[in-house]
Structure 1
Amino acid sequence: MTTDDSRVSLRRMLRRLTASEAEIEAQELLRVSAESGGMPAGQCRGGQLVSVAGRLRTVVYTPRTNLPTLEADLYDGSDVVTLVWLGRRHIAGIEPGRHLTARGRVALRDDRKVIYNPYYELEPSR
């Protein structure tokens, strides 16, 4: 191992030791997302057709008189994308803490990234 390699390794180890739990979780989610072929949510722009992977933080059913919706916030370590299923009250496996990959076109709603009726694949429980 060269001196430069050992310095890089030492920096990496020190960064990991001083990082907060949230920073470590974000780094791990970004790594898993990249391995799944997902685009970082922080790089997604309105109108893009994307594949994003991460962990569901929240899942909320919104009863509306004309069209009920199920909304889930997907976090990949860089940003959040809200997944919205129109006309759905519940979807088996869509629950907080679950890892999944979602594909669809990004829309912007109130300056938030949203994918309506995404195609999704549930990842095995970790």
Structure 2
Amino acid sequence: MGLREWWRRLGAPDDAFWAEPVQYDEALEGVQEVATCADRAKGRVHGTVTSVEIRPHDGACSLVARLSDGSGELEVVWMGRRSIPGIGVGTMLTVEGRVCVHDKRRTMFNPRYELACV
């Protein structure tokens, strides 16, 4: 993303920024859109982290990140974690694991992940 594109996105409303599709490159082989992820199937998704929160659950915490790729959102949950270095709002991330529908949201629990180098 060039400086001009960055500046244009900076002035755009949040919804417009996150709704733009992610441009895939050849290094992201096997990546699929969130909208095409089937329930109970393995998936590999690349997108931007739009929110990060810590949720308590039966005495333990889980780190929950929402990942958006322009086609939809995927909730990514790392159980027993309070933080993961490098993961924050705006981080480009690739996750791989089994997708399920939990509380009517596409969710991936304890996935493998790669931070994108920009």
**With structure 1 as the length reference, what TM-score do the two structures score?**
0.74
- Counterparts of 1:65-80 in structure 2, within 5 Å, are 65-80=58-73
CA shift in 2, pair 1:23/1:68, >3 Å? closer
Structure with the higher fraction of residues in strand conformation: 2
Q: Which amino acid aligns with 1:80?
A: E
Q: 1:89: how far off?
A: 0.5
Q: Write the distance in 2 (CA, Å) between the matches of 1:111 and 1:65.
A: 21
CA shift in 2, pair 1:34/1:109, >3 Å? farther
Asked if residue 36 in structure 1 is aligned to residue 32 in structure 2, the reply is no
Q: Write the distance in 2 (CA, Å) between the matches of 1:35 and 1:25.
A: 22
Q: Of the two, which has the highest radius of gyration?
A: 1
Contact 1:101 1:122 (8 Å CA) reproduced: yes
Q: Which of 116, 119, 126 is matched with 2:109 structurally?
A: 116
Q: 1:62: how far off?
A: 1.3
Q: Write the distance in 1 (CA, Å) between the matches of 2:49 and 2:28.
A: 15
CA shift in 2, pair 1:100/1:87, >3 Å? same
Q: Which amino acid aligns with 1:32?
A: Y
Q: Tell me which residue corresponds to 1:26.
A: 20
Asked if residue 93 in structure 1 is aligned to residue 80 in structure 2, the reply is no
Offset from partner CA, 1:72-106 (integer Å, 9 cap, x none): 00001100010000000111011000001000000
Structure with the higher fraction of residues in helix conformation: 1
CA shift in 2, pair 1:55/1:33, >3 Å? farther
Mark the runs of 5 or more structure 2 residues left unpaired by the alignment.
1-11
Count of residues paired in the alignment: 104
Q: 4+ residue runs of structure 1 moved beyond 6 angstroms?
A: none
Q: Which amino acid aligns with 1:113?
A: R
After superposition, the CA RMSD in angstroms is 2.2
Give the fraction of aligned pairs with identical amino acids, expressed as a percent.
32
